[in-house]
C-alpha cells in the first residue's frame, strides 16, 4: 500500500484494480507532468535533465521555447530557489524510500527530502492558491488544499513509517508554491494531534481496499471517473434529481 494508492482507491476502487490488472491506463494529466517537472528540479540536476529529455515533446514547442505551463513552473522553481528558508526546508537526501507496516498492511513511501541530522522531512507541493477553500465530505466543512488533497494523511503516514525505520519521530513540513503570477509560497507545519484523526480514517477505510486488492470482493465503482465512464453499461433509468446528488 502507498498513500497515492490509498487515495486512488478512495476515489474509485474499480479503477485502481483495473490499473493493477493492466486493464486501464490513465493518461498523464498536464498538471501531473508539470508537478513532476517541478519536483525533478529540486531532486538533482541530472534528474531534471533526464526528465526534460524523456518529456521533451510535452515541455517544448516544435518551434522552440516551452509551453506556458512549464514557463510558469520555471517561475515557481525560481521563486523557491531564491528563498533561503525554502531551500533550508528542502535540504536533505532526496526521493528516499522507506517501508513499514500500518494496521497489519505493508506500506511503502517515497520522501521528497529528509534530513536525519535535523530530524525533519519535507514534501514539495504545488497548488492554485494558498487560500482557496474546498468543501470536504471527509471533514464535513470547508478546508484548505492541504486537507482537500489528503496531505495531512500523507504526512501522518510518512512520519509513522520513518519512525519505524529510525526510531525517531521526525518533524514534517510542506514546502508549497502556487501557480499564480507571481507565485506565492509558504512552509507549512502541522498539528501532530490532527494525525490521530487521519489514522482512524485510514483504519476505517483500509479493510475494503485490501479486500478489493486481494480479489475477495467486487471493487466499488464511483460511477463518475474516466474508467467508470469507459466501462459503463446502462441497465435502468434514473430520476432527473439524481444528477445533482
Each of the 245 residues of the chain gets a pLDDT tens digit; together they read 999 999 999 999 999 999 999 999 988 788 889 999 999 999 999 999 999 999 999 999 988 899 999 999 999 999 999 999 999 999 999 999 999 999 999 999 999 999 999 999 999 999 999 999 999 999 999 999 999 999 999 999 999 999 999 999 999 999 999 999 999 999 999 999 999 999 999 999 999 999 999 999 999 999 999 999 999 999 999 999 888 87
Cis ω for the linkage preceding 182 (within 30 of 0): yes
Distance CA 219, CA 14 (A): 5
45: containing domain = 3-244
Q: What is the CATH number of the domain that holds 202?
A: 3.90.320.10
Distance CA 51, CA 210 (A): 33
Residue closest to 153 by CA, chosen among 211, 195, 113:
195
Q: CA angle, corner 14, sides to 10 and 16, nearest 5?
A: 65
pTM for this entry: 0.93
Q: For residue 134, what is the enclosing H or E element?
A: strand 134-136
pLDDT value for 64: 87
pLDDT value for 243: 85
Distance CA 105, CA 30 (A): 32
Classify residue 130 by burial, with Cβ atoms within 10 Å: 0-12, 13-18, 19+: middle
Residue closest to 102 by CA, chosen among 199, 185, 20:
199
pLDDT value for 184: 98
How many domains does the chain fold into?
1
pLDDT value for 244: 83
Residue closest to 103 by CA, chosen among 5, 4, 200:
200
Amino acid at each position: 500500500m502507498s498513500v497515492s494508492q490509498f487515495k486512488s482507491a478512495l476515489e474509485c476502487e474499480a479503477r485502481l484494480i483495473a490499473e493493477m490488472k493492466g486493464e486501464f491506463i490513465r493518461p498523464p494529466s498536464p498538471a501531473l507532468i508539470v508537478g513532476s517537472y517541478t519536483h525533478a528540479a529540486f531532486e538533482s540536476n541530472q534528474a531534471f535533465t533526464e526528465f526534460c529529455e524523456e518529456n521533451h515533446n510535452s515541455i517544448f514547442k516544435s518551434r522552440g521555447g516551452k509551453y506556458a505551463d512549464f514557463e510558469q513552473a520555471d517561475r515557481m522553481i525560481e521563486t523557491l530557489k531564491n528563498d533561503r528558508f525554502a531551500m533550508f526546508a528542502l535540504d536533505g537526501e532526496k526521493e528516499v524510500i522507506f517501508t513499514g507496516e500500518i494496521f497489519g498492511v505493508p506500506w511503502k513511501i517515497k520522501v521528497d527530502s529528509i534530513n536525519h541530522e535535523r530530524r525533519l522531512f519535507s514534501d514539495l507541493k504545488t497548488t492554485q492558491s494558498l487560500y482557496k477553500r474546498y468543501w470536504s465530505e471527509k471533514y464535513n466543512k470547508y478546508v484548505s488544499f492541504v486537507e482537500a488533497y489528503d496531505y495531512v494523511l500523507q504526512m501522518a503516514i510518512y512520519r509513522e513509517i520513518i519512525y519505524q525505520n529510525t526510531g525517531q519521530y521526525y518533524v514534517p513540513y510542506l514546502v508549497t508554491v502556487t501557480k499564480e503570477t507571481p507565485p506565492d509560497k509558504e512552509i507549512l507545519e502541522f498539528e501532530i494531534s490532527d494525525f490521530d484523526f487521519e489514522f482512524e480514517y485510514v483504519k476505517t477505510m483500509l479493510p475494503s481496499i485490501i479486500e478489493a486488492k486481494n480479489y475477495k470482493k467486487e471493487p466499488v465503482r464511483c460511477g463518475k471517473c474516466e474508467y467508470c465512464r469507459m466501462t459503463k453499461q446502462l441497465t435502468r433509468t434514473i430520476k432527473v434529481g439524481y444528477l445533482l446528488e
